Amino acid sequence: MPLTDITDVTDEVGEALAARRPVVALESTIIAHGLPRPRNLAVAAELEELVRAGGAVPATIAVLDGRIRIGLERPQLERIAREGGVRKLGRRDLAPALAAGASGATTVSATAFLAARAGIRVFATGGLGGVHREWTRDQDESADLRVLAETAITVVCAGVKSVLDVPATLQRLETLGVGVLGYGTEWFPGFYLSSSGEPVDWTVHSPGQVADVVRAREALGPPESALIVANPVPEPEQLDPALHDRVLRDALGECRERGITGQAVTPFLLDFLTRRTAGASLEANIAAVRGNAHLAARIAAAL
């Protein structure tokens, strides 16, 4: 069965891709499982507007009723934001979800995979998945990393979620051959924080410089891999680092105590932080994603 038979591309996205106009992919897990309702719907719509304001067409990606959706109309965005039973789909979950006629939100791994297949070259998200701090015990490493190692796409993010083991994740990215550029910074961003305290090897300062790197990568040819553009949340909008460290310690403790594992870990930690920082982590998270959506559009336009 050809992929096009099970994929619905909105007219707007399809026309933009055919005319080689800039398109930016957006993931849907952050909407369904990363942000609280009803704010999630407002943010999802705002991200699309930010992409437009940056000069590109937004393509939010999800699976609805067993069909791949590249670009969502408003009623479909509402379903992802509001419906119960919207599953969290990594790349490996796509086939069973499609076969079952299920609906689900796509993580970075599934979104990057589907976006690249659809011919989209730039993707914006909040924070990537990565190596969890309890890796030595449970080997929890997000499928995001493996997919980024095999997929030619530029991913604009605010680093990896700070609930993870950031140095270990950077090591894995190096091993996997995934390029990392700091955008306007010499430090890898810390998702809720402007800096994780870990250095990056390469820094760029404009969308044009990112486009130069992408073109050089394309000239080098296979094997394909992703390019991460690590764009920090502006310092005035970051979460207070002391509050971050304190609440995160509690979150990781509670996660372990309650025996939460697998796909549930990331949503649990994000929600715990939101509740225990009285929404401050949520604001930092949203500020980061906003900046990424806008920058991704400018990069897509520069390409």
Residues noted as catalytic: 27, 161
Which of 104, 126 has the CB closer to ligand PSU?
A: 126
- Which residue is listed with tokens 């992703």? 226
Strands 154-157 and 57-64: unpaired
Contact letters for ligand PSU, residues 146-185 (x by CB under 6 A)? ---------------x------------------------
Which of 185, 263 has the CB closer to ligand PSU?
A: 263
Contact letters for Mn ion, residues 140-169 (x by CB under 5 A)? x-----------------------------
Minimum distance, C-beta of residue 220 to ligand PSU, in the bound complex (Å): 27
For position 76 contacting ligand PSU by CB under 6 A, the verdict is no
Name 141's bridge partners. Answer: 131
Query: Phi first, then psi: what are they for 199, rounded to 5°?
Result: -75, 155
**Where does this chain touch ligand PSU (CB under 6 A) — which range of 9-17, 40-48, 93-101, 140-148?**
140-148
For position 263 contacting ligand PSU by CB under 6 A, the verdict is yes
Structure tokens of 95? 């086939």
CA–CA gap between residue 31 and residue 127 (Å, rounded): 13
Which of 48, 140 has the CB closer to Mn ion?
A: 140
Question: Of 127, 159, 182, 232, which one interacts with ligand PSU (CB under 6 A)?
Answer: 127
CB-based contacts of 156, cutoff 8 Å, min separation 6 = 122, 123, 124, 125, 183, 229, 231, 292, 293, 295, 296, 299
Q: At what angle do helices 108-118 and 143-150 cross, to 10 degrees?
A: 20
**CB distance 191 to 269 below 8 Å:** no
Q: Which residues bind ligand PSU (CB under 6 A)?
A: 27, 29-30, 33-34, 107-109, 125-127, 129, 142-144, 161, 263, 266, 270, 285
